[in-house]
A and B are shown apart, each in its own frame.
Chain A
Amino acid sequence: MATVTGDFNINAEVDVESIEATARKARTQSLVRLLRYTLLKLVALVVTVAIGVYITIFVANMGGEVDNIRMATIRENVALTATADPVFRAMATEERIAYINDRVELEAKRYGLDRPFILRSFEYLRDAMTLNLGYAQQLTSDSGSRMVRNIILERLPSTLVLFGTANLLLFFIALFAGLSLSRRYGSFADKAVLAMAPTSSAPPWFYGIFLILIFAALLGVLPFGGMVGAPPPDNPLDYALSLLQHMILPVSAWLLSAIFLTTYNWRTFFLIYASEDYVEMAKAKGLPDGMIERRYILRPTLPNIITSFALTLITLWTGAIITETVFNWPGIGQLYARAIGAFDTPVIVANVVIYAYLLALTVFLLDFIYALVDPRVRVGGGGPKQ
């Protein structure tokens, strides 16, 4: 440190008031930007989900063609019922036709088929978006309810517990592994991860089958599937332990199918960002290595990591249905597979809606974190691009 400091007064008065004032201003500004950004994202996502669900409704109804099929079914049923009725048999031909037409109209009205499909499609959309999901045709909830909402709500927690855990683990393991590999770039571990990266082309359930074979069938150390042992333990602690034991294999399968590629991706991000000028400056500034890694490598890279993670999750969600089925996990993925098997249309549509919401929620959360870690996003294109 220079001992003599010329005309510069190192003890000059500093206007603490104005520092605090600008700090307050900056905080409010950040908050306003964050809120505006979050609100915009929310609106965009709701619109996206609505469009997705509407397309599903439109396709599931074949653009209104299903109405004709249903009308034909109604007419056939009415005619069959009528012929069994002695009063009907006593009628004249015109009367019979009028009677049948009346009954068909009544039935159509009951199902709402008298109004144009386009109008009703928007009512379906409203019902779907507000999770007013109607009644199942075949399936029931464990408590015996036919309401699709009950069936799904009963299974949603199991899905969230499994994939929430798996994805959080995936995120943090890949993050720290990626950081440590970028530090030891070119080492044996680095090359090993690179070599293993192509294994991520197989979906989680593929690894699930092998894991079940090895650890359940051959070694017999872990359960084949299910969520808790049978009968479920009464003690909450035992219940949690049993749940953990059952989660090991599905979570491992999930991790195995994504961890190598994700780690390799992120390690490359870290390497790219570690060669930025400001990292060199941080070294010149004599900051400790840990601080450089946190503030100058991890934080600027985090937005890219989050984008990459969002994309990984979107791909992985689609594998959730079969993974749950393979592990006999009582979640909505397994429900979806069963609903398809039982041709239970309301449950299938409801599942699509729930998946759309889950996906949108994931993306929304990640976007929110993105805005927290990257000030450039919050400005909304106001600042010059770097």
Chain B
Amino acid sequence: MDQPNETVLRARNLRLYFQTRRGPVQAVDGVDFDLRKNEATVIIGESGCGKSSLAKAILRLLPRNAGTYDGEVWLHDQNIMLLNDESFRKEIRWRRISMVPQAAMNALNPVMRIGDQVSEPAIVHMNMTKEDATKSAVRMLEHVGVPIDFLHRYAFELSGGMRQRSALAMALVTLPDVVILDEPTSALDVLTQASIMNLMKRMKKELETSFILITHDIATSSELADNVAVMYAGQIVEVGDARRFFTKPLHPYSHALMASVPRLRETIEPEFITGQPPSLLNPPTGCRFKDRCPKRFDKCDEAPPMFIEEGDRQVRCWLYDDAIQMSRPEYQVVA
């Protein structure tokens, strides 16, 4: 096995709750994950499982109703949760962690020229002159395949794919350590999705940046993923490397997710998961997936810890508790 790359970003017990009139919504509830250099971690989950909130929690983009917000986020050897807001803005945002938003359609200012928006972070964070910033914007725009005469156009004059490319160029212009891609292709048609995914693969190879790809689109994400983290009801339920995850998922929820992906030239009907994801307002005690889980048993009323499986894979499910596997052979998970 290759020497694993150094870890760039480490989240430990990250929590982000939102205050609502009916109580706190536990959008991100004790999330741990690692991101290594020049690798892509895909965070997969259903709508409303808290994956976009996780992106917001990492970049500290808190809405007005944010409540509990704690845990640790280590960027190299610095816990960035300890920074005050002003130094977080100056040192972390876009300098070291940038993002490509969910809908690049609305992520560009309608009354500013594309070039000005792409070069803006370079001016603000790297003390570049306007000319130098424009040059690096041009380099990056050309690199992601946006022609130079788009520099002076406005967002409404661009197609969806071009806007997404511009947003990507904007995220990369300061050459950050980590780029968070929040469903970067979900608003695009299939052909554009493919070209954007290819572009991101190329960027990953050429820029040696690390990516966090947040998506519900398992099929597309498999293109880019080195590692996979599955999120369910505000928690990470499985972490592992992509190759083994996509061939043999561990958690029953991951199984169900994989089974729901339609496959070409196969007669297997895609399956769906019965029931609704639980409300994050009052998440069930014990395992949060237990109400929809086909393999539920009595132990599931207790909250499962992360179990280590196959050396470096982690899964939050009692089925992988060694003691249980010994005593209840009928629950053994055999792929």
Report the minimal beta-carbon distance from B178 to chain A, rounded to whole angstroms. 9
Q: Which of B124-138 contact A (CB under 8 A)?
A: 124-126, 134-136, 138
Report whether B101 and A288 are in contact in the complex, using a CB–CB cutoff of 8 Å: no
> In this assembly, does A383 line the interface, its C-beta being within 8 Å of a C-beta of chain B?
yes
Report whether B109 and A376 are in contact in the complex, using a CB–CB cutoff of 8 Å: no
A26 to B114, CA, bound (A): 12
**Chain-B contact segment, one of A14-22, A94-102, A128-136, A191-199:** A14-22
Question: 0/1 per residue, A282-294, Cβ < 8 Å to B?
Answer: 1111111001000
> In this assembly, does A375 line the interface, its C-beta being within 8 Å of a C-beta of chain B?
yes
9 tightest A-B CB contacts, nearest first:
A286-B93, A26-B152, A277-B106, A7-B206, A6-B208, A14-B135, A22-B149, A6-B206, A286-B89
Partner of B120, one of A2, A12, A287, A373: A287
> In this assembly, does B194 line the interface, its C-beta being within 8 Å of a C-beta of chain A?
no
- Residues on A with C-beta less than 8 A from B61 are 280, 283-284
- Residues on B with C-beta less than 8 A from A215 are none
- Residues on B with C-beta less than 8 A from A375 are 110-111, 154, 156
Given A26-B152, A376-B111, A383-B154, 10 more A-B residue pairs with CB atoms under 8 Å apart are A1-B95, A2-B176, A6-B207, A277-B102, A284-B93, A285-B93, A285-B121, A295-B109, A375-B156, A379-B156
Report whether A383 and B93 are in contact in the complex, using a CB–CB cutoff of 8 Å: no
> In this assembly, does B205 line the interface, its C-beta being within 8 Å of a C-beta of chain A?
yes
Report whether A277 and B103 are in contact in the complex, using a CB–CB cutoff of 8 Å: yes
Report whether A5 and B175 are in contact in the complex, using a CB–CB cutoff of 8 Å: yes
CB within 8 Å for A12 and B95 given contacts A277-B103, A296-B109: no
Report whether A12 and B208 are in contact in the complex, using a CB–CB cutoff of 8 Å: no
Report whether B134 and A280 are in contact in the complex, using a CB–CB cutoff of 8 Å: no
> In this assembly, does A25 line the interface, its C-beta being within 8 Å of a C-beta of chain B?
yes
> In this assembly, does A374 line the interface, its C-beta being within 8 Å of a C-beta of chain B?
yes
Question: 0/1 per residue, A273-316, Cβ < 8 Å to B?
Answer: 00011101111111110010001100110000000000000000
CB within 8 Å for A14 and B209 given contacts A1-B96, A286-B93: no
A-B contact pairs, 21 of them (CB 8 A): A1-B95, A1-B176, A6-B205, A10-B136, A22-B149, A23-B151, A26-B152, A276-B106, A278-B107, A280-B61, A280-B101, A281-B101, A281-B107, A285-B93, A285-B94, A285-B120, A286-B89, A374-B111, A375-B156, A383-B154, A386-B155
> In this assembly, does A219 line the interface, its C-beta being within 8 Å of a C-beta of chain B?
no
Q: Chain A residue with minimal CB distance to B202?
A: A7
Report the minimal beta-carbon distance from A10 to chain B, rounded to whole angstroms. 7
Residues of A within 8 A of B (CB): 1-2, 4-8, 10, 12, 14-16, 18-19, 22-23, 25-27, 276-278, 280-288, 291, 295-296, 299-300, 373-376, 379, 383-386
- Residues on A with C-beta less than 8 A from B102 are 277
- Residues on A with C-beta less than 8 A from B126 are 1
> In this assembly, does B139 line the interface, its C-beta being within 8 Å of a C-beta of chain A?
yes
Report whether B149 and A25 are in contact in the complex, using a CB–CB cutoff of 8 Å: yes
Partner of A26, one of B94, B107, B153: B153
Report whether A376 and B176 are in contact in the complex, using a CB–CB cutoff of 8 Å: no
- Residues on A with C-beta less than 8 A from B303 are none
A12 to B138, CA, bound (A): 10
Report whether B177 and A2 are in contact in the complex, using a CB–CB cutoff of 8 Å: yes
Interface residue range, chain B: 35 or more
Report whether A2 and B175 are in contact in the complex, using a CB–CB cutoff of 8 Å: yes
Q: Chain B residue with minimal CB distance to A385?
A: B156
Report whether B92 and A286 are in contact in the complex, using a CB–CB cutoff of 8 Å: yes
Tell me which of A10, A23, A284, A379 has the highest count of chain B C-beta atoms within 10 A of its own C-beta. Answer: A284
Report the minimal beta-carbon distance from B274 to chain A, rounded to whole angstroms. 34
> In this assembly, does B273 line the interface, its C-beta being within 8 Å of a C-beta of chain A?
no
- Residues on A with C-beta less than 8 A from B99 are 281, 284
Residues of B within 8 A of A (CB): 38, 59, 61, 89-90, 92-96, 98-99, 101-103, 105-113, 120-121, 124-126, 134-136, 138-139, 143, 148-149, 151-157, 170, 174-177, 205-209
A155 to B81, CA, bound (A): 66
Q: Chain B residue with minimal CB distance to A12?
A: B139
Report whether A376 and B93 are in contact in the complex, using a CB–CB cutoff of 8 Å: no
- Residues on A with C-beta less than 8 A from B205 are 6-7
Partner of A376, one of B59, B95, B143, B156: B156
A287 to B122, CA, bound (A): 11
Report whether A286 and B124 are in contact in the complex, using a CB–CB cutoff of 8 Å: yes
- Residues on A with C-beta less than 8 A from B177 are 1-2
- Residues on B with C-beta less than 8 A from A4 are 208
Report whether A277 and B107 are in contact in the complex, using a CB–CB cutoff of 8 Å: yes
Report whether B95 and A286 are in contact in the complex, using a CB–CB cutoff of 8 Å: yes
A282 to B109, CA, bound (A): 9
A285 to B93, CA, bound (A): 6
A276 to B110, CA, bound (A): 11
A254 to B110, CA, bound (A): 34
A282 to B209, CA, bound (A): 21
Report the minimal beta-carbon distance from A32 to chain B, rounded to whole angstroms. 14
Report the minimal beta-carbon distance from A2 to chain B, rounded to whole angstroms. 5
CB within 8 Å for A285 and B124 given contacts A2-B177, A25-B149, A386-B156: yes
Report the minimal beta-carbon distance from B120 to chain A, rounded to whole angstroms. 7
Report whether B111 and A373 are in contact in the complex, using a CB–CB cutoff of 8 Å: yes
Report whether A8 and B120 are in contact in the complex, using a CB–CB cutoff of 8 Å: no
CB within 8 Å for A19 and B93 given contacts A2-B176, A276-B106, A283-B61: no
CB within 8 Å for A386 and B101 given contacts A16-B135, A26-B153: no
Report whether A376 and B154 are in contact in the complex, using a CB–CB cutoff of 8 Å: yes
A383 to B175, CA, bound (A): 32
Q: Chain A residue with minimal CB distance to B92?
A: A286
Partner of A284, one of B94, B106, B111, B125: B94
A25 to B237, CA, bound (A): 54
Report the minimal beta-carbon distance from B273 to chain A, rounded to whole angstroms. 30
A26 to B148, CA, bound (A): 12
Q: Chain B residue with minimal CB distance to A277?
A: B106
Report the minimal beta-carbon distance from A161 to chain B, rounded to whole angstroms. 33
- Residues on B with C-beta less than 8 A from A299 are 109, 111-112
Report the minimal beta-carbon distance from A293 to chain B, rounded to whole angstroms. 13
